[in-house]
Structure 1
Amino acid sequence: MRIVIAGGHGQIALRLERLLAARGDEAAGLIRRPEQADDLRATGAEPVVCDLESAAVDEVARHLEGADAAVFAAGAGPGSGETRKDTVDRGAAVLFADAAEAAGVRRFVVVSSMGADREPPPGTDPVFAAYLRAKTAADDAVRARAGLDWTILRPGRLMNDAGTGLVNLAERTGRSEVARDDVAAVLVALLDEPRTAGLTLELVGGGTPVLEAVEAVAGTATA
C-alpha cells in the first residue's frame, strides 16, 4: 500500500512511518519544513514538503494521487495559540479531506483526541478548549463526507513510554493514557481493516493485543 500522512514529522507519524516501511508499504509524509526531511528518510518514508496551512486543495491532491489511504496526524503542537489550533487541527484536516476526495482516495484515518465530542467544561484552559473545539469540528467535517471511508481515532493522554501492544479500543473507553507506539500500531491495524470505516473510536492502554482489539471493533461494526 501507499499511505500519505499529513503531519509527517509528528511523533505518532514518525512511528507510523517506521512501522509501514518495515513491512514493505510505501509511506509518504507531508512536512512543512525541508529540514525535517532526513528524519522521515530515516524511518523509510518519503518526505513531501507541503504546508497545509497555505496549500490549495489541488496541490495537496497531487501528492495524494495513487495513494491507497490517507492519515491525518497533523497538529499545531505545544506552544501554539488558539489561532493555529483552528488553522491546523481543523483547517488542515478539512483541506486534507477535500484533497483526498479530489484524488479519489477513499480510505481516510484521522488521529483526533479524546474529549473531541463534547463542549469543554467551564474552567478549561482557553488554548486547550480551542484545540478540542477544532478537533470536534474537523471530526464532524470528515464524518459528513460520503466520498471517504473514514475512521476517527481518539487516543487518551499520549505517552512516550515503550508500547506494550496491549490496548483498550472501543467507542467509549474512559479516560487514561496510551503510548504513542501503541497508537501507531493501532493505526496500521485500522488501515488493514476496512470494516472499521465509519467508526469513531477511543484508545487507551489496556489488556487486549492490538490486532484482537481492532478485530473486535470491526466485528461489532458488521454485526
Structure 2
Amino acid sequence: MRVVIAGGHGQIALRLERLLAARGDEAVGIIRNPAHAADLEAAGAQGVVLDLENAEVDAVAEVLKGADAAIFSAGAGPGSGTARKDTVDRGAAALFAEAAERAGVRRHIQVGSMGADNPDNPNVSDEFRHYLRAKRAAEDDLKARDLDWTILRPGQLTDDPGTGLVLLADKTGRGPVPRDDVAAVLVALLDTPASARRTLELISGETAIGEAISAL
C-alpha cells in the first residue's frame, strides 16, 4: 500500500511512517523543510518537499498519483497565530482533499480535533476557537467530497508510550491518548472500509485497538 501523508514530519506522522514501513507499506511524507527529509528516511519513509500553504493543487495531485490512501496530519501548531490556523488547518486540508480527488485517491483520513463540533465554545481561548473553526471548516469541506473519508478526532495528545488500549467511538468524552496509539489507529483505519464516512473520537480506554476497529 502506498500512503501519502500531509504533515509528514509531525509527531504523529513520524510514528505512523515507522508503522507503515514496518509492515512493508510505502509511506510518502509531504514536508515543507528539506532538512526534515533525513528524519523521514530514518523512519522508513520518502520525503517530498512541498509547501501546502502555497502549492498548486495539480502539484499536490502529482504526489498523490498512484497512492492507495491519503492521510492529512498537518497542523500549524501552538503559537502559530490565527492566520496560519486558517491557511494550514483549513486551507491545506482542503487543498489536499481536492488533490486526492483529482488524483483518484478515494481513501482519505483526516486527523481532526476533539471539540470541532463546538467551534465557538466560549470556555476556550480565542486562539483555540480559531483553531477549532479551521478544523471544523476542514471537516465540512471533506464531508462534501466524493471520497471514502474518515475523520479521526483524538483527545489530548501525550508522548506516553502507547498501550494499545483505546476508546474509539462516535463520541467518547474528553481524555488523553498517546500519539503512539493515534498512529496505530490510523494504520488500522486504512484497512477498515467500515470506517468510511464516519467521524470518530479517540481516547485511551480498555479495548485493544484491533477489537475497537472490528466493532466499527
Task: Tell me the number of residue pairs that the alignment of Structure 1 and Structure 2 aligns.
Answer: 216
Q: Which structure 1 residue ranges, 5 or more long, are not aligned?
A: 218-223
Q: Name the aligned partner's letter for residue 132 of structure 1.
A: L
Q: Name the aligned partner's letter for residue 37 of structure 1.
A: A
- 3-state SS of paired residue (1:110): strand
Map 1:4-15; keep pairs closer than 5 Å.
Answer: 4-15=4-15
- 3-state SS of paired residue (1:162): coil
The equivalent of 1:107 in structure 2 is 107
Map 1:88-107; keep pairs closer than 5 Å.
Answer: 88-107=88-107
Cα separation, 1, equivalents of 2:164 and 2:136: 28
Q: Name the aligned partner's letter for residue 177 of structure 2.
A: V
State the shift of 1:195 in Å.
Answer: 1.4
Map 1:1-223; keep pairs closer than 5 Å.
Answer: 1-146=1-146, 148-217=147-216
Cα separation, 2, equivalents of 1:117 and 1:3: 28
Q: Name the aligned partner's letter for residue 210 of structure 1.
A: I
Q: Contact (CA 8 Å) 1:82, 1:126: kept in 2 or not?
A: no
Q: Name the aligned partner's letter for residue 100 of structure 1.
A: A
State the shift of 1:25 in Å.
Answer: 0.1
Q: For 1:100-156, what per-residue CA distance to the aligned partner results, in whole angstroms no more than 9, with x for missing partners?
A: 00000000000001001113322421111100000000001001112x100000000
Q: Name the aligned partner's letter for residue 93 of structure 2.
A: A
- 3-state SS of paired residue (2:63): helix
Cα separation, 2, equivalents of 1:15 and 1:194: 22
Q: For 1:134-190, what per-residue CA distance to the aligned partner results, in whole angstroms no more than 9, with x for missing partners?
A: 0000001001112x1000000000000000000000000000000000000000000
Q: Which structure 2 residue ranges, 5 or more long, are not aligned?
A: none
Cα separation, 2, equivalents of 1:159 and 1:119: 22
Instruction: Give 4+ residue runs of structure 1 displaced > 4 Å after superposition.
Output: none
Identity of aligned residues (%): 68
Q: Name the aligned partner's letter for residue 99 of structure 2.
A: A
State the shift of 1:194 in Å.
Answer: 1.2
Q: Name the aligned partner's letter for residue 201 of structure 1.
A: L
- 3-state SS of paired residue (2:215): helix
The equivalent of 1:221 in structure 2 is none
